[in-house]
Amino acid sequence: MKVELFYSPGCSECLAAQAKLKAAALDTLKDIEWHELNVIEQLDYAVELGVLTLPAIVVDGELVFTSMPTAEQLCEALMRRTGGRT
């Protein structure tokens, strides 16, 4: 599973949550590719995925969160996508 977190440089909300979300995702599922993407550097790709607000989280090419989720919300979304398999 590929998880991409789009952020803007200097976004204090993004920086504060990135490490916590990454740790929670990696604890929840063993097979995760975690990517943190600077939206300025990846603007075309972000637009292609429908990212309009930041921070945003894309899972396997699908925009899942358009604002920063809690670690619990992210883990629940990941588990739903796997059918409960870890």
Q: Indicate whether 86 belongs to any domain.
A: no
- Using alpha carbons, list the distances in angstroms from residue 4 to 30, 39, 67: 16, 11, 13
Quote the pTM value.
0.90
- Full pLDDT tens readout for the chain, 86 residues: 999 999 998 877 777 788 899 999 999 998 899 999 999 999 999 999 999 998 999 999 999 999 989 999 999 999 999 887 76
Q: Which residues, in sequence order, are CB contacts of 31 under 8 Å at separation 6+? A: 1
Q: Indicate whether 72 belongs to any domain.
A: yes
Output helix, strand, coil percentages for the chain, rounded to the nearest 5.
40, 25, 35
Alpha-carbon dihedral angle through residues 50, 52, 57, 59, given to the nearest 10 degrees = 0
Structural domain span for residue 6: 2-81
Look at residue 16 in the predicted model and tell me its pLDDT. Answer: 77
Q: Indicate whether 12 belongs to any domain.
A: yes
Instruction: Output the domain CATH number for residue 54.
Output: 3.40.30.10
